[in-house]
Structure 1
Amino acid sequence: MIQYAALAIEAGIAANVLCVFSDAPVGVAGAGAAYSISMNLTGLEGWDERHGLIGATGAFALATQRYFHLYGADSNALYEAAASDREWAARNPKAFLRKPLVKEEYFASRWIVEPLRLFDCAYPVNGAVSVIVSSADNAKDRPKPPVFLHGFGQGHSGARNFASEEPEIHTGAEIAAHNLLAGLGATPDVFDFCEFYNAFSIATILALEGYGFCAAGEGAEFIASGATRPGGALPTNTGGGHLSSYYLQGMTPVHEAVIQIRGYGGERQVSKTTLGLVTGFGGRMEYHAAMAVSPHREI
């Protein structure tokens, strides 16, 4: 959405574009019912639903099981990812889950779809976020400092289920990362912080690997080292992410990136924000979009 707005402005067919996301999935039936729809992973009409593969949780549970099998990880990896988000959320007054997530509480939480527990899943809310996309010149002398867009990358892997590949592990992130970094002429270490779309804990692990911050199978260890937590080498999901802050889909990471770039993070403000990575995805991670943001017009 933001990329297309920027392209429209660059082409001269718009001066300002308001990008809006609003959602109200939490109603009388609850968020669970709202998200319990078939993702049709197989491409065989009705097959997923008839066999009990309902909602995104089941799809991401399959990806998690495959990751465990390939790399020898276990639920401790998921706990570290969820606990890292929670540590950031504790510093965010708008986050919905702010109490530290200890192992006992995590492992005592109920299964949603094994091996994903309650705290491995996003926290849906009713809410809205909007951003105004404009030219750099139009952004001068505004009440709040602008956030500059320095590059975009999309990656759409398509359905790999029947292509002798690993659709659960190899996602559109690799393609989006290549396109974004090629445009920047940079490597992943150019980023000071990351705001990932992480509707499930496994998504953070796969994003770190897919965007090149660590090798395949090393994402869990990277998080466990403390690198993504406050004070770590790569602050990640600094508002608490989807797991502990709130789930407004792709706008959650966008909103937090704007806060960090403007220096409005308060207790969770990261020390360096020269360039940040913001990502979003659709489906079971086969559709990816990413952008690089900065407080500076030139980097």
Structure 2
Amino acid sequence: MTIRGPLAAVAGLGFSQLSRKPGPRPRQLACDAVSNAVADAGLKLDDVDGLLLNRSPIEPAETLPLTVQEDLGLRDLGLLASIEGEGSSVIQMLQIATLAVQGGLAKRVACVFADAPISHNVNAGKTFAIPLPLTGIPGWEEQIGLFGATSAFGFVASRYTALFGATEEDFGEWALAERAWATGNDRAFLRQPLTMEEYLASRFVARPIRVMDCAYPVNGAVAFLVVCDDDMVDSKRVFIHGIGQGHSGCPAFGDLEPEFDNGAELAGKTAYAMAGVGPAEVSSAQFYAPFTCTGIVSLENYGFCDRGEGAAFTAEGRTAPGGSLPVNTGGGMLSGYYLQGATPLAEAIIQARGEGGDRQVRNDIVLATGLGGRQQHHAAAILSPHRSL
């Protein structure tokens, strides 16, 4: 299906405090971010008639309950839900809010992701060191000591290396590019220059994945306000032109390559078709890439290069500042901050609004993606400051 013209618009973007130290829990962080997003749009909380919530999938429901509505003092909502689609959830919130304002369920929908993996008792490493199911056999991963996403995605990096001959330096180039972008982002947590020597000297977490290949978790929340495309006529509006999802089902079975054959291609094709554009027209890409290998695979799955060419694409400097395809221009999840799907979407909105400062790039068409599980779940959105593409 091809649709011309915007589906909806983002009118406000808000952050809570972002920190690597114990502090407020997700519920308070979410309220802070929503309040800031509504104020950023020049509105009051009373103007909001829809609320979508997203917490980390490893956290219980009470971490971010529906009663956040009451915390915010919101009344008579036409839409209220907690969204769960693993790491694709934030882009899914954008999509659901878009469909809601199109269908008349609500006019102004606040969407928020909040997480606080760092507490007084647990650091981020322990928080995420849980078994990630790979086989569907209950308890198998835990019994053999395969803990955390790092171990699971180590298979992705290993398989990519075996099939396509990628080197340690190829993965390092992705990390170096994100660090270079982070120098222009005041919210980025890792802004000091990174050399290839420093990257190669960093310790292995789950070979071949090193510390410098991994996301940098923080406590915080990000919220955005989705409105009808003709609502809130001001310079901060970002138009939503295309949305798509893709879910691969059971990639560990059959004749698929589970490391690469996933829902990203479907999510991208749907979003591109809806917006009437293709990968060649994308000004910048904001990928959900918690590991260097996932970023390289995303380049291929979203059509920027062929299968097996992502490592060379990165090594040539094409994703770095000055490259042909600016990628993760806020420093991404490795050098910026890891707030799951909120990280790429927030940067996509900032770039589309032309508020990137020293890191601002051409912003005609911005791709934002989400990735969940071990790459089984994907969502994508095409954003632009322009009403017509």
Query: For the residues of structure 2 that align with 1:107 and 1:229, how far apart are their CA atoms?
Result: 19
TM-score, normalization: structure 2? Answer: 0.75
List runs of 5+ in structure 1 lacking aligned partners.
none
Corresponding residue SS for 1:263: coil
Which residue pairs with 2:378 in the alignment?
Answer: 288
Which residue pairs with 2:186 in the alignment?
Answer: 93
Which residue pairs with 1:212 in the alignment?
Answer: 303
TM-score, normalization: structure 1? Answer: 0.97
Residues 112-165 of structure 1, C-alpha deviations (whole Å, 9 max, x = no match): 111000010000000110000000111214xx5101100101000111212121
The answer to whether structure 1 residue 239 and structure 2 residue 333 are counterparts is no
Which residue pairs with 1:16 in the alignment?
Answer: 108
Which residue pairs with 2:209 in the alignment?
Answer: 116
Which residue pairs with 1:182 in the alignment?
Answer: 273
Decide which of 171, 175, 200 is 2:291's aligned counterpart: 200
Query: For the residues of structure 2 that align with 1:186 and 1:260, how far apart are their CA atoms?
Result: 18
Identity %: 51
Q: CA deviation at 1:186?
A: 2.7
Decide which of 69, 73, 82 is 2:166's aligned counterpart: 73
Query: For the residues of structure 1 that align with 2:273 and 2:358, how far apart are their CA atoms?
Result: 34
Query: For the residues of structure 2 that align with 1:278 and 1:46, how far apart are their CA atoms?
Result: 34
**Could you tell me which amino acid in structure 2 is paired with residue 228 of structure 1?**
T
Which residue pairs with 1:255 in the alignment?
Answer: 346
Which residue pairs with 1:62 in the alignment?
Answer: 155
Query: For the residues of structure 1 that align with 2:184 and 2:354, how far apart are their CA atoms?
Result: 14
Decide which of 363, 366, 374 is 1:276's aligned counterpart: 366
Runs of 4+ in 1 over 6 A off after TM superposition: none
Q: Residues 251 and 262 of structure 2 are in contact (CA less than 8 Å); yes or no, is this contact kept in structure 1? A: no
C-alpha RMSD over aligned residues: 1.0
**Could you tell me which amino acid in structure 2 is paired with residue 3 of structure 1?**
Q
Task: Specify the structure having the higher radius of gyration (Cα).
Answer: 2
Q: Residues 26 and 126 of structure 1 are in contact (CA less than 8 Å); yes or no, is this contact kept in structure 2? A: yes
Q: Residues 153 and 291 of structure 1 are in contact (CA less than 8 Å); yes or no, is this contact kept in structure 2? A: yes
Q: Residues 195 and 256 of structure 1 are in contact (CA less than 8 Å); yes or no, is this contact kept in structure 2? A: yes
Aligned residues: 296
Q: Residues 215 and 337 of structure 2 are in contact (CA less than 8 Å); yes or no, is this contact kept in structure 1? A: yes
Q: CA deviation at 1:182?
A: 2.2
Corresponding residue SS for 2:221: strand
Query: For the residues of structure 2 that align with 1:213 and 1:194, how far apart are their CA atoms?
Result: 10
Which residue pairs with 2:95 in the alignment?
Answer: 3
Query: For the residues of structure 2 that align with 1:161 and 1:21, how far apart are their CA atoms?
Result: 29
Query: For the residues of structure 1 that align with 2:136 and 2:348, how far apart are their CA atoms?
Result: 35
Q: CA deviation at 1:189?
A: 0.5
